[in-house]
Every structure is written in structure tokens, then in C-alpha cells.
Amino acid sequence: MPKYYVRSGHLERIVTADAPREAAYLALERGKGEEIDEHFFYVDERGFRGPTPKDECIHSDFIPLHIFSAKEIYYTTGEDGGMEFDEDNTD
């Protein structure tokens, strides 16, 4: 499984997952109590990318490969409370 670097607000986690969206969900689960960005999760295999809470802008070299809306990650659960991921739509 690939290793992903996930950033959202003050949350920074390195997780292994089958897909970037799954990595964002796992980071959210493991970061309970940490302040997260209310809008986005930034996921990349190259290192932590995307803005930090103190950044006003980011350099184009640090734009992450995958950006997910926070709402999408919050509601990525199945009827039984488990995770559901569409492997064809992971970007």
C-alpha cells in the first residue's frame, strides 16, 4: 500500500492506504481532537503539501496531487458505518 501525507488545518498525518481518499478518511479518524480545515484535505505521496493555517498563499511547487472537500471526507461512510470508496474515482 502507498504511503500518503495528509494535511488539513493543524492535522498532519502519514498513513498507508489503498487510495488517496481513504488516506484522508484514515487521517481524520486518527486525528480526533485536532483542529482541521473546514473546507479541504490535502493528500500527496511526496510529502506534506497544501497550505498551513498560517499561510496566506502557497508556492506552486507545493500544490498537492489530491484535494478533497472536507464534507466529502466527513460523509465517506457506508450504511454499516464502514468506509466506502469508489476506486475508479480517487482523485
| H-helix segments, the chain | 20-30, 70-74
Q: Which three cell numbers stand for residue 44?
A: 500527496
Domain ranges of the chain: 3-74
* Alpha carbon distance 6, 67 (integer Å): 10
pTM across the whole model: 0.71
CA dist., res. 78 & res. 29, Å (int): 15
Mean pLDDT, all residues of the chain = 78
Q: Say how many C-beta atoms besides its own lie within 10 A of residue 75's C-beta.
A: 8
Pairing state of beta strands 11-16 and 66-69? unpaired
27-66 pLDDT, tens digit each: 988 887 888 888 889 999 999 988 777 766 666 666 777 8
